[in-house]
Structure 1
Amino acid sequence: MARAESGQARSGGIGRFLSWRKVFGTFFGLCLLGMGAFTVLYLVVDVPAEGNPAAKAQSNVYKYSNGKTFAREGAVNRELVELSEVPKDVQHAFVAAENKSFYRDQGVDLKGTTRGLLNTLRGEGKQGGSTITQQYVKNYYLSQEQTVSRKLKEMVISLKVDRNKSKDEILAGYLNTSYFGRGAYGIQAAAQAYYGVDARELNVTQGAYLAALLQAPSAYDWAAASEAGKTHVKERWAYVLDNMVDEHWLDTGARARQKFDVPDEPKGAPGLAGQRGYLVKAANAQLQEQLVSDGVPKDAAAALVDAGGWNITLNIDEKKQRQLEKAVKAELTSRLSPKSRAVDADVQAGAVSVDPKNGRVLAMYGGEDYVKHYTNNATREDYQPASTFKPVIFTAALAEGSDTQDGQPITADTVYDGTSKRPVVGSDIPFAPENEDDQSYGPVSVQRAMNKSVNSVFAQMGVDVGMEKVLSTADKLGMDTEDEEAVPSQTLGTMGASPLQMAGAYATLDNHGKKVTPSLIKKADHLDHSVDFPDPVGEQVVERGVADSVTSVLQGVVDDGTGAAVRNPVQDVAGKTGTSDDNKSAWFTGYTPDLVTSVGLFGEAAKDRTTDSGEKVRRGAQVTLSGAAGGGRVNGGGFPAQIWAGYTFDAMGAPSAFDLDTEMGAGIAPPSEEPDPSGSQGPSEPATEQPEDPTTEAPPTSEEPSGEPTYTPPTEGPTAPPTVDPTPPSEPTWGIPEGPDGRGRGDRYEDDGD
């Protein structure tokens, strides 16, 4: 028995030995096969005789929807320089950032390349690990595509280039072909774009920033970076300098003296003056986003667009574009006098007009002149939309079937407590917003609260619905809520938004709840292929009855509220005004059945200055609009509404009526009069309206006064409001929650006298 067991043991040991021998044999065979394949590849792949097509890039051509060319963006912004024209410290900054072993390696990082190949096979896109030689080969000889064959070619050519060229030649090629963002290819163009100097004038701290920029030109451009992005930029900049110390290219004393040099603001190209530059850059941004959606890495997509050769047709209607520009000039810029009133220089306007049926952007106003003001006011998202957000809250209430604190369904007729500074009930976070001019409305219906933009009502409604659901609805309508906190203050529209976003959200309502994502591009072709864009009109994101009810309520804002400046006797109009805290922004977003337009005014400091109180204001900071054009507070019912009316009533075709599937709102029946639950009828608006003193600045506010502006729409016929259905309104439902002191609804108003 022992002998048998011993035999089995010997047999098992031999079996294991034979098994391992097979494994090693297989592995060795694969290695030989791989080496043989690489040898064949090395013999077959030659260094190309000349650079890739991007090195001979063409211009991009931009056309209106009718095919008429309105802009050509010139050839690639690149000026070749000798390496001797780049300071040695700056050369070392790039090597420290990208490839510390550059002067010692053979042109290839086998570990990084292998990792890149595996990631490509897994579909994980762009990965780091390439040497400077490999990046130069990719930029100059190959392409930005993420394929195994391209990466293998890159490795072979890099090995050959490293043998045939000096390190200085390779570094010069790398610096002259790299993409730095802002349309700048090569270090000379980058030095001019970011610091306004030639490459030979760059210092080490500027060189370190440009070297850091190469990792992510779009995200690390200081002018466009978020606060988090700016933090990452400085960390990357410090990493570059620290690596220079490690390689003995910078002593510790010099390192300690380095201070981050903030890059210059971007400047528009002279050939893109007026609105052309805004349209071109917005079209480029949409094209880049689509390329990224198609699998192209973000910075490679930006480089591909800037490299040229694109024929891009926009949805912009040439006639409507001219009409929008004309309206802004007539209603705003012609009334501003920056030389006599400093505040007038701080006024920026942006507007977007969309066809709600197909999502096409028909007109866009980005600012007075792209060359003078690089930022596109139509697409910027850094100003609050203020009370133009209130319809989103009401949409969420209807979509979610929400109830008040008293369990009453929220509809246009639901009555809330409109007392100014009334603390919201049901929130863990205390919030008691002030109404415009601290005006209290007493018991007020949702319809009238929308008409007069009563903050206290919509703050409570947001809590009743649940702020998470409100933000979810905003996201469905097309607003960017990813980084927003679900707190009651959001009911005042405190998140950032652009006229483009607001036009899309309201277009979705106008389109009976089908998602509209405004699209600027009609088609884009490059050489022998086209880019396919998704249909701007998507799925049903809110029920038709919900969207139509909101539209009906928003007609009341125009017929009997803060949007009276756009009232038209022959045309159905829905819309909402908005004015942010400290009067830093003012809005009107409105629509007819066939046209949605959002107009925003933004207070942006035109230059560095010190206020009378000693506060330092940096150029580009958000500042108040109050006093612009010699008036007082700039409200959404003023200039923005006037621009909207001047454009819309000029651009629209024959008058049309909304086709609404709803039984609530001002578009269906006259607004109801709300009884006072205490038994006494208090006024829901001031008995008299005092004219605003243009020389006195009003206190900070989040909405505009309810008095009617003096603007008269360019229409013919009687000036009375449109006739409405005389059918009496439905019985209002009551939903005023008890106050925080525990008193009932009747008790709250018995002593007020309002």
Structure 2
Amino acid sequence: MAGTNRRAAPARSRRGTRTRPASSAAASTTGAVGVEPRKRKFFDYPRSGYTGLHRWLPSWRFVLGSFVTLVFLMLGGAVAAYSSVTIPDPNADNTAQTTTVYFAPESADQPHGEVMGTFAVQKRTIVELATLPEYVGKAVIAAEDKTFETNSGVDPVGMARAFVNNVRGGKTQGGSTLTQQYVERYYFSTTTDYVGKAREALLAIKLARTEDKSKILERYLNTIYFGRDSYGIEAAAQSYFGKGAKDLSVSEAAVLAGIIPSPNNWDPAVSPEKAEARWNYVLDNMVDIGALPAAERAALVFPSDTLIPEQPSQSKMGPNGLLLQMVKKELGGAPLKMSEDDINRAGMSVVTTIRKPLQDMAVATADGFRAGTLEGQDGAVPAERTKYSITSVDPQTGGIVALYGGPNNELDQRNHATYENVQGASTFKPFTLVAALENGISLNTTYNGRSGQKFPEWEGGTKPVGNFDNENFGNIDLVTATAKSVNTVFAQLNIQVGPDKTADVATRAGVPGVNPQNLSNVLGTDAIHPVDLAGAYATFANQGVKFPVHVVATVTNPDGTTAYQAPSEGERVFQADVMADATYAMEQVVQQGSGRTWIKPLGRPIAGKTGTTNDNKAAWFVGFTPDLATAVAISQKAEDQSDESITGFGGVKHVTGSTWPAFVWQSYMKQAFTLPPYSEVKQFPPRANVGKKPTATPTVEATPTEAPTEAPAEPQVVDVPNVEGKLEADATATIDALGLVVVVQKESSDTVTTGRVIRADPRGGQVPVGSTVTIVVSTGPKPQATQPPPTQQPTPQPTQPANAGGNNGGGGGNGG
């Protein structure tokens, strides 16, 4: 109304409202002509005509349009990718390459020695799905992909879940369906990157549309790895149950299906609890998918009674088969960390440290000992339950150059050098000796060697420490105590230096896990692997420079590149002067102690130690030259696999370290000394006479370069006596009295009477105490060619006075 006084209400101000442009408003109000409208922008952002937050928010039309466009682009890309995917030729095993293991080369110009064995994808028998019970396939479906028969080949939810988990840094997951696993194994071997997974997914979709699911399942069953070197369901059925796949029961099929994700770890022989848990999982899933009635499932029991132990293939039987197992174990460890499946497919060349001529000698010695045919054995044979091993290590590299761990036949497949735990007995005494030398206790230090002494620190003084056969010694130095293996002296020495020092020396040398709190560890109460003790004595032989014990020297990829090479530098873990004195004391074990009967006649510098446990349940001889360290261990298991006393044989009632172990050691090593790498007679460093000041434990270094902080004391020198023409016993006694080491060699002579010295080297002059003097003793005229009388060594007899031991107060070694 024109005449009203009512005031018009003001316009409501709203945030983000759309406003009309002023020009447009004016034009529409006035009706003016000729004003050109404002041009619209191609991309109207920020949005014109809006204020506030709405100006910056895209319109719903834009959002919808963008989403639809993106969807169509993705669909188009997926269609294009799907169309471009072609089904490749099956990979199967045709691209899998055999990994070949070689012995060490015999000369520098050879890349490797003879073939030791191979690892390959060979244990497979193809079977048709139609020949198998339906529940075999159903068990695998229940274990790996319950929706296999209805899905499109992929599981988007599972893939998304796995992707998110992997991005978050969780344990790697695959999210693969059975079809995707089939694609990976049958066509592409192994895929880990996301691009490869996408390619697998597309191919899985295509195969699910173009191939029958039963054919996919059949190929999957014939391709997948089940552990025990078995590829495919048929080989797996034979390996785990000793029957064909067509004869598997429901329970047995569920066991095999359950271990597919991790067959080596979930093998019922390795982890029975995990295997049974997976068995239950598979059977429950079979009920869920309608493949097994619930009542039948409830009645099933885990088929432990039909499971069989893993049976090594004939190509991996025998002592060399044990070596191949060691190679595989090292390849699976750092730094390569290869799975067994990788090893079987990788096509690598693996050169080991095993020297075939020496390995053949070790095996021949072990076989001859079992048969009673070694020279001097006179037909005596060990009991069937008596087990033994021979291990040789190169001190300059740490490489195992020969190892006999057992026959590895149908009756005994255990590696007694690497698996067996044998009490170390008196072979541990050198560890305490080294600890004493490092703490300034010299070899000249004397202790009371009387048997049956009680010490307050030793089991509260309630239990006496005894020597072998309760033999009493007076006040003797550490050289004599080592040579005679006197328990009471070493008990006092370990009390003085501390059992933690003994354990530390053992660990640094190469024997882990020694109890540092147990005073009787000096008597070898800890159970160890013979290969570790051989490695520790190799550290002594290398005068304190340690190399890790190993069997793999090099690994070469199929393209010729180097995948792995064993370390070429060692660690100095003991000072050279300490090693010189320890070696000198251990030489006396051979020259005047428990090794003199069998080891001394080899006629060259050898250091070592015998060892015998309480009740003679284990016996050792471990010895070394500068070039080779060898451990011989003999033990025995009862029918229940508990330790029992070694059955005596060949006139030896109680098997001690100085009897059959020393006999086997010399039988083997005298053959080894004929080989070029070991034929040269090499001397040990002379005695250093450590002890005027404590010798500090050296800091472990990465190189073998010696850097002593102070020079050792000047060694005492003596005149070398003239012993030519003397009887061997008189000459030996004369040289021994001067603190010199006697090495006896035999030689025929037409002019010097049998048993008398032909010559000595050196013949005269002055030498440091502890030096070696070699005497050559006449064996009489050369025998006529028509009358070659065989030289027979006596059957091993216990040298009781040398085997200090018996009651040890700690349940460890007898000392022999």
| Structure 1 and Structure 2 fold alike (TM over 0.5) | yes
Q: Given residue 655 of structure 2, which amino acid in structure 1 is its aligned partner?
A: V
Q: Given residue 538 of structure 1, which amino acid in structure 2 is its aligned partner?
A: G
Task: Please show how residues 558-577 of structure 1 align to structure 2 within 5 Å.
Answer: 558-564=590-596, 565-568=598-601, 570-577=603-610
**Separation in 1 of the partners of 2:220 and 2:566?**
37
1:669-720 deviations in whole A, cap 9, x for unaligned?
99xxxxxxxxxxxxxxxxxxxxxxxxxxxxxxxxxxxxxxxxxx99636799
1:538-563 deviations in whole A, cap 9, x for unaligned?
32233334444433332233233333
1:27: how far off?
A: 12
Change (3 A) 1:661 1:629: closer
Q: Is the 8 A contact 1:577 1:588 kept in 2?
A: yes
Task: Please show how residues 178-217 of structure 1 align to structure 2 within 5 Å.
Answer: 178-217=224-263
Q: Is the 8 A contact 2:580 2:687 kept in 1?
A: yes
In the superposition, the TM-score normalised over structure 2's length comes to: 0.65
**Separation in 2 of the partners of 1:335 and 1:41?**
73
**Separation in 2 of the partners of 1:191 and 1:49?**
28
2:236 is paired with a residue whose SS is helix
Change (3 A) 1:496 1:303: farther
**Separation in 2 of the partners of 1:44 and 1:478?**
59
Q: Which range moved further: 253-262 or 567-576? A: 253-262
Partner residue in 2 for 1:650: 671
Give 2:183's match in structure 1, choosing from 122, 133, 137. Answer: 137
1:420-440 deviations in whole A, cap 9, x for unaligned?
585672889999877655667
Q: Is the 8 A contact 1:432 1:456 kept in 2?
A: no
Change (3 A) 1:444 1:81: farther
Matched, 1:357 2:357: no
**Separation in 2 of the partners of 1:55 and 1:112?**
30
Change (3 A) 1:308 1:31: same
Give 1:425's match in structure 2, choosing from 457, 462, 470. Answer: 457
2:358 is paired with a residue whose SS is helix
Change (3 A) 1:592 1:103: same
Partner residue in 1 for 2:301: 258
**Separation in 2 of the partners of 1:419 and 1:178?**
65
Partner residue in 2 for 1:328: 366
Matched, 1:346 2:385: yes
1:188: how far off?
A: 1.6
Q: Given residue 331 of structure 2, which amino acid in structure 1 is its aligned partner?
A: L
Partner residue in 2 for 1:673: none
**Separation in 2 of the partners of 1:204 and 1:485?**
52
Q: Is the 8 A contact 2:446 2:475 kept in 1?
A: no
Give 1:48's match in structure 2, choosing from 81, 88, 108. Answer: 88
Partner residue in 1 for 2:414: 375
Q: Which range moved further: 439-448 or 185-194? A: 439-448
1:315: how far off?
A: 2.9
**Separation in 1 of the partners of 2:54 and 2:509?**
67
Partner residue in 1 for 2:335: 293
1:207: how far off?
A: 3.4
**Separation in 1 of the partners of 2:524 and 2:249?**
44
2:403 is paired with a residue whose SS is strand
Q: Is the 8 A contact 1:348 1:377 kept in 2?
A: yes
Partner residue in 1 for 2:548: 517
Partner residue in 2 for 1:710: none
Change (3 A) 1:84 1:389: farther
Q: Is the 8 A contact 1:467 1:486 kept in 2?
A: yes
**Separation in 2 of the partners of 1:417 and 1:26?**
96
Change (3 A) 1:655 1:342: closer
1:77 is paired with a residue whose SS is coil
In the superposition, the TM-score normalised over structure 1's length comes to: 0.70
1:571: how far off?
A: 1.4
1:143-176 deviations in whole A, cap 9, x for unaligned?
3464444444444433433444444433333332
Q: Which range moved further: 99-108 or 320-329? A: 99-108
Partner residue in 2 for 1:303: 341
Q: Given residue 518 of structure 1, which amino acid in structure 2 is its aligned partner?
A: V
1:578 is paired with a residue whose SS is strand
Report the number of matched residues: 644
Give 2:586's match in structure 1, choosing from 534, 546, 554. Answer: 554
Partner residue in 2 for 1:701: none
1:225-254 deviations in whole A, cap 9, x for unaligned?
4xxx45544554555455556666364675
Q: Given residue 590 of structure 2, which amino acid in structure 1 is its aligned partner?
A: V
Partner residue in 2 for 1:595: 628
Partner residue in 1 for 2:114: 69
Partner residue in 2 for 1:683: none
Change (3 A) 1:195 1:647: same
Change (3 A) 1:453 1:266: farther
Give identity over the alignment, percent.
30
Q: Is the 8 A contact 1:514 1:537 kept in 2?
A: no
Q: Is the 8 A contact 1:54 1:307 kept in 2?
A: no
2:622 is paired with a residue whose SS is strand
Q: Given residue 380 of structure 1, which amino acid in structure 2 is its aligned partner?
A: Y
Q: Is the 8 A contact 1:510 1:593 kept in 2?
A: yes
Q: Given residue 595 of structure 1, which amino acid in structure 2 is its aligned partner?
A: L
Change (3 A) 1:343 1:588: closer
Alignment RMSD (CA, Å): 5.0
1:470: how far off?
A: 4.8
Task: Please show how residues 477-556 of structure 1 align to structure 2 within 5 Å.
Answer: 477-481=509-513, 487=518, 491-529=522-560, 530-535=562-567, 537-556=569-588
Matched, 1:276 2:316: no
**Separation in 1 of the partners of 2:599 and 2:279?**
52
Unpaired segments of 5 or more residues in structure 2? 1-13, 17-49, 107-111, 674-678, 692-712, 717-742, 748-754, 772-816
Q: Over alpha carbons, which structure has the higher Rg?
A: 2
Q: Given residue 592 of structure 1, which amino acid in structure 2 is its aligned partner?
A: T
**Separation in 1 of the partners of 2:386 and 2:664?**
14
**Separation in 2 of the partners of 1:24 and 1:497?**
74
Change (3 A) 1:452 1:192: farther
Task: Please show how residues 87-106 of structure 1 align to structure 2 within 5 Å.
Answer: 87-103=133-149, 105-106=151-152
Q: Given residue 633 of structure 2, which amino acid in structure 1 is its aligned partner?
A: G
Q: Is the 8 A contact 2:386 2:647 kept in 1?
A: no
Q: Which range moved further: 40-49 or 507-516? A: 40-49
1:178-235 deviations in whole A, cap 9, x for unaligned?
2233322122222222332222233344334434443433344455x4xxx4554455
Q: Given residue 515 of structure 1, which amino acid in structure 2 is its aligned partner?
A: K
Q: Is the 8 A contact 2:611 2:657 kept in 1?
A: yes
Give 1:319's match in structure 2, choosing from 349, 357, 361. Answer: 357
2:219 is paired with a residue whose SS is helix
1:357: how far off?
A: 1.3
Change (3 A) 1:83 1:365: same
Q: Is the 8 A contact 2:104 2:353 kept in 1?
A: yes
Partner residue in 2 for 1:716: 746
Give 1:78's match in structure 2, choosing from 113, 116, 124. Answer: 124
Q: Which range moved further: 235-244 or 556-565? A: 235-244
Q: Given residue 644 of structure 1, which amino acid in structure 2 is its aligned partner?
A: W
**Separation in 1 of the partners of 2:131 and 2:605?**
65
**Separation in 2 of the partners of 1:460 and 1:130?**
66
**Separation in 2 of the partners of 1:719 and 1:304?**
64
Change (3 A) 1:110 1:350: farther
**Separation in 2 of the partners of 1:594 and 1:582?**
34
Q: Is the 8 A contact 1:429 1:487 kept in 2?
A: no
Q: Given residue 716 of structure 1, which amino acid in structure 2 is its aligned partner?
A: K
Change (3 A) 1:45 1:12: same
**Separation in 1 of the partners of 2:113 and 2:67?**
63
Could you say which structure has the higher helix fraction?
A: 1
1:16-44 deviations in whole A, cap 9, x for unaligned?
9979x999999999999988876665555
